[in-house]
Amino acid sequence: MTGLFTTTRRGAIGLALGAAAAIGLGTPAAAEVSFEGKTIEWIIPFSPGGGSDTWARFNAPLLGKYLPGSPTVVVVNEPGGGSTKGANLFAARAKPDGLTILGTSGSTQFPYLLGDPRVRYDYSEWKVAMAAPTGGVVYTSPSTGVTAPEDIGKLAGQKLVYASQGATSLDLVPLLGFKLMGLDVQHVFGFKGRGDGRLSFERGETNIDYQTSSAYIKNVQPLVDNGTAVPLFSWGALDENGNLVRDPTFPDLPSFAEAYETLTGKAPEGPEYDAYFAFFTAGFPAQKMVFLPKDTPQEIVDAYQAAFEAMKADPDYQANKEAVLGTYEQVTGKAADTLFQRGTIISPELRKQVVDMLAADYGVKLGDD
């Protein structure tokens, strides 16, 4: 496919959600932009093998195909600091010429939302080119005695171990979720990506894990098929009214709320659930976004949005999207702006609640994980 150059340091991003209004694919502004003969760096602030990496590797060649001039798109992994390292590099170095873009995840948004001192980037300064929700599936080892989602009660009282990128990364969602469920989970901080967490699970070092939808489909479903992993639940999805429902990519799996009720006998509610739900929303329905740096001319932003819209009609995209990304659709324009807002804003009260909990229960101060 045109437009993707990969090495061990180069990895991925792709997106998903409902189709937005078309972005004027043939507008004069977009036509004035050309990247012919250019190489575009797509920074992914995570290690290879996780959901963001899988997303990018799928989408990058198609993006290159439909950008004006058909440039080569190089996806560069810059892991570290719970993904703040790569985002900081982008904020400090990217020029507004369209030759450097950034793919972010909830793990990039959460430190920003929590006021982590490692963050030297400001989402409000960037131009969103595309946004997408995704989902995620929690799974466990058959060594726990669990053989199916309805067996989740067997985890009560067991010592569980989870490989975490850090308490202020996207792994804050499982941290809050497992705590709400009353599960005894040791969170081992410091992993550079969810791909590293999965490998730790495969080595038997951990016995509970989750992967975003794309990585689960590609890398965990084979483990389920050979009996070395057992799915428990998906985080779920939001319907048009903002209510939690089953993830349409995994309709046979219970949502988090259903699993909680199976485990505890009651529906989740209260301030701890409100905090969990706020970060779940930022982390999954509004999880993945692609940005251009501040001061990027609007015609370049338009060209990117037009390319992202055009690629969705490509036969290769249509043939392979669901197998790689699930049922989610990528969005641009107003729909992307809406997700942008939902994923980068949180109330001061919920922020303080979570920050205080991390310090009190896990000894985690912002910037230390």
On the question of pLDDT at 23 being above 60, the answer is no
* Domain's final residue, options 282, 299, 322: 282
Q: What is the pLDDT of residue 25?
A: 40
Residues 65, 82 within the same domain: yes
The DSSP secondary structure of 328-368, one letter per residue, reads ---B-HHHHHHHHHHHH---HHHHHHHHHHHHHHH-PPTT-
* Domain annotation covers residue 365: no
Q: Looking at residues 40-68, what average pLDDT do you find? A: 93
Residues 26, 129 within the same domain: yes
Q: What CATH number has the domain bearing residue 338?
A: 3.40.190.150
Q: Give how many domains the chain has, as a whole number.
A: 2
* Domain's final residue, options 248, 282, 316: 282
* Domain annotation covers residue 364: no
* Domain annotation covers residue 353: no
Q: What is the pLDDT of residue 367?
A: 60
pLDDT tens, 224-256? 999 999 999 999 998 877 789 999 999 999 999
Q: What are the tokens at 236? A: 């779920």
C-alpha angle 174/175/181, rounded to 5°? 80
Residues 170, 105 within the same domain: no
Nearest alpha-carbon partner for 69 in 21, 35, 101: 35
In sequence order, the 6+-apart residues with CB closer than 8 A to the CB of 183 are 155, 156, 160, 208
Residues 18, 128 within the same domain: yes
Q: What CATH number has the domain bearing residue 275?
A: 3.40.190.10
Residue, of 6 and 144, whose pLDDT is higher? 144
Q: What are the tokens at 205? A: 């070092």
Instruction: Give the residue numbers spanning the domain of 323.
Output: 4-134+286-348
